């Protein structure tokens, strides 16, 4: 059985409208036994006003957000595709920022047939499940991801996470033909508190052959959540 990438499942025919390099980057699945390892520099990492810092410090507990900022920050992103313990096709988004204090931003994405979209589990324990709306950016032919409803899960507890205490992420990743590099821009806002956090920069991608048993344990969540 051929396994389609989770992004291709959502975009359908629109997937072919993406830049060929973006199609390659988001067109693989666990069946392909490859991983995309990006290495580059974030031109800028920023955070909002001082009153936004508590949101960011709380995010460090589970590698969701962080309060550091800077320019020309070394950066890596690890995208591995694997099948999780519930049989779901999963893609990791493990971002590491070499700021004054090394920080990670962990996420794992699945395709939810129940919701008909990507669900992004944030952090090391998949406590936050976030609906992701995908589209093709018309200007760059890159992939745009915008977060929607969020749900908190822990043990038997499960509820919609109030947006007053969270953020809406707008992410765009595209390929710069002139620079021959991938570019990414992330902007996280709160409907009441304004801009919280973001970064933008560029990176190269190395393709790595990897069998299922070779997917590093440290890119997988400590706890996997069944509820979507």
What's the pLDDT at 63?
66
43 domain residue, yes or no: yes
Q: Which long-range contacts (CB under 8 A, 24 or more apart) does 131-135 make?
A: 134/7, 134/10, 134/11, 135/14
* pLDDT score at 113: 92
Any domain includes 19: yes
Range of the domain at 47: 6-219
Instruction: Pick the most confident of 51-65, 115-129, 198-212.
Output: 198-212
Quote the percentage of the chain above a pLDDT of 70: 90
Q: Is the pLDDT of residue 38 over 60?
A: yes
- Count of domains observed in the chain: 1
**pLDDT at position 69:** 77
Strand positions, DSSP E, the chain:
34-47, 70-83, 89-97, 103-112, 117-122, 128-136, 143-154, 157-160, 168-176, 181-190, 194-209
More confident residue, 16 or 59: 16
Residue 9: predicted pLDDT: 96
**Which pLDDT score is estimated for 190?**
85
Q: Kindly state whether residue 49 falls inside one of the protein's structural domains.
A: yes
Across the chain, mean pLDDT equals 91
The confidence score (pLDDT) of residue 55 equals 65
Q: In this predicted structure, what is the pLDDT of residue 81?
A: 98
Asked, for residue 227, whether it belongs to a domain, the answer is no
How far is Cα 16 from Cα 86, in angstroms, rounded to an integer? 29
pLDDT digits (tens, 9 = 90+) for 67-113: 777 899 999 999 999 999 999 999 999 999 998 888 899 999 999 99
**Which single residue is written with the structure tokens 């991608």?**
205
| pLDDT at residue 180, as a whole number | 98
Summarised one tens digit per residue, pLDDT across range 127-182 is 889 999 999 999 999 999 999 999 989 888 887 877 766 778 999 999 999 999 99
53 by DSSP, 3-state: which? helix
Residue 220 pLDDT greater than 60, yes or no: yes
pLDDT value at position 143?
Answer: 98
- DSSP one-letter string for 66-111: ----EEEEEEEEEEEEEE-TTS-EEEEEEEEE-SSS-EEEEEEEEE
Residues 6+ apart with CB under 8 A from 202: 40, 41, 43, 176, 179, 181, 182, 183, 184
CA distance 209 to 80: 10
Whichever domain contains 25, its CATH number is 2.40.128
Does 224 reside within a domain?
no
Identify whether 1 is part of a domain: no
Token duo for residue 76:
């890596």
At a CB cut-off of 8 Å and minimum separation 6, what does 87 contact? none
| Residue 35 belongs to a domain | yes
């Amino acid at each position: 059985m051929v396994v389609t990438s989770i992004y291709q499942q959502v975009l359908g025919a629109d997937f072919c409208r993406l830049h060929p390099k973006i199609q390659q980057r988001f067109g693989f699945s666990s069946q392909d036994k490859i991983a995309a390892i990006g290495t580059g520099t974030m031109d800028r990492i920023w955070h909002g006003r001082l009153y936004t810092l508590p949101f960011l410090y709380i995010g460090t507990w589970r590698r969701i957000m962080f309060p550091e900022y800077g320019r020309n920050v070394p950066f890596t992103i690890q995208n591995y595709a694997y099948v999780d313990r519930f049989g779901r096709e999963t893609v990791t988004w493990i971002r590491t920022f070499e700021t004054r204090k090394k920080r990670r931003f962990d996420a794992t994405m699945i395709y939810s047939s129940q919701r008909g979209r990507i669900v992004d589990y944030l952090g090391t324990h998949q406590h936050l499940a976030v609906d992701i709306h995908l589209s093709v950016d018309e200007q760059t032919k890159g992939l745009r991801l915008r977060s929607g409803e969020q749900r908190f899960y822990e043990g038997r507890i499960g509820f919609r996470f109030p947006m007053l205490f969270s953020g809406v992420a707008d992410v765009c990743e595209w390929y710069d033909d002139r620079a021959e590099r991938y570019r990414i821009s992330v902007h996280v806002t709160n409907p009441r508190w304004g801009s919280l956090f973001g970064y933008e920069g560029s990176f190269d991608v190395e393709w790595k052959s990897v069998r299922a048993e070779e997917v590093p344990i440290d890119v997988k969540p400590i706890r996997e959540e069944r509820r979507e």
